[in-house]
């Protein structure tokens, strides 16, 4: 979304509110999710650009619904990721280095925030999800979901084959 900040820059208003969605499949703002994650709805963005005596700040709130699998038990996980985004707004030509990530740059009175939101969303989005914090996972032998109860595998403790030689040393003592 491109926001016209000319009225804010000229001092006619001190705050501009916005609310819109970003299509996750739009080729201009394509959001490629991490492996095994799919976004189930567009990104919902709301916020404001405020001018406080020449110090202009962009405050944005973004939410995106997702579907993925639990990293321990592989059950489906649905959720909403929330991103709070705050950046100082600077007018093009006033910064020595406009590539600084601490600022969003206004060019010709226009501020394009989609790129900033999408970039921050991809950087902050988690890479691993759990169905619940106390997820027991899967049995490494039979693959049963241990959240539904114990499996019938024998409880003999197995030693990692790479460390089996050390077990022989302990048996000789």
The per-residue pLDDT for range 35-77, each reduced to its tens digit, is: 788 888 999 999 999 988 778 899 999 999 999 999 999 999 9
Tokens of 138: 């899967």
Residues 47 and 100 in one domain: yes
Residues 88 and 149 in one domain: no
Is residue 113 within 8 A of residue 58, CB to CB? The reply is yes
The answer to whether position 129 is within a domain reads no
Residues 103 and 147 in one domain: no
Query: How does pLDDT run across 95-146, given as a tens digit for each residue?
Result: 655 566 677 888 888 888 888 888 888 889 998 899 999 999 998 888 899 9
pTM for the model stands at 0.75
Residues 29 and 114 in one domain: yes
Residues 118 and 155 in one domain: no
Domain ranges, residue 170: 136-173
Residues 76 and 16 in one domain: yes
The answer to whether position 130 is within a domain reads no
Tell me, what's the pLDDT at 156?
64
55: β partners: 52
Residue 94 predicted with pLDDT over 70 = no
State how far the Cα of 55 lies from the Cα of 32, in Å rounded to an integer: 34
Residues 89 and 146 in one domain: no
Is residue 106 within 8 A of residue 52, CB to CB? The reply is no
Residues 109 and 67 in one domain: yes
């Amino acid at each position: 979304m491109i926001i016209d900040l000319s009225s804010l820059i000229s001092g006619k208003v001190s705050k501009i509110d916005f609310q819109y969605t970003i299509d996750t499949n739009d080729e201009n703002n394509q959001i490629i999710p991490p492996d095994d994650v799919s976004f189930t709805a567009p990104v919902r963005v709301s916020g404001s650009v405020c001018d406080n005596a020449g110090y202009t700040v962009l405050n944005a709130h973004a939410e995106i619904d997702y579907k993925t699998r639990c990293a321990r038990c592989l059950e489906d996980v649905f959720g909403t990721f929330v991103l709070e985004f705050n950046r100082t707004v600077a007018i093009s030509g006033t910064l020595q280095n406009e590539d600084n990530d601490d600022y969003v740059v206004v060019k010709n009175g226009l501020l394009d925030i989609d790129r900033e939101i999408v970039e921050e969303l991809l950087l902050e989005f988690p890479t691993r999800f759990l169905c619940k914090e106390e997820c027991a996972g899967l049995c490494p032998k039979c693959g049963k979901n241990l959240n539904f109860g114990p499996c019938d595998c024998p409880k003999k403790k197995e030693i990692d084959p790479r460390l089996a030689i050390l077990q022989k040393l302990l048996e000789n003592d």
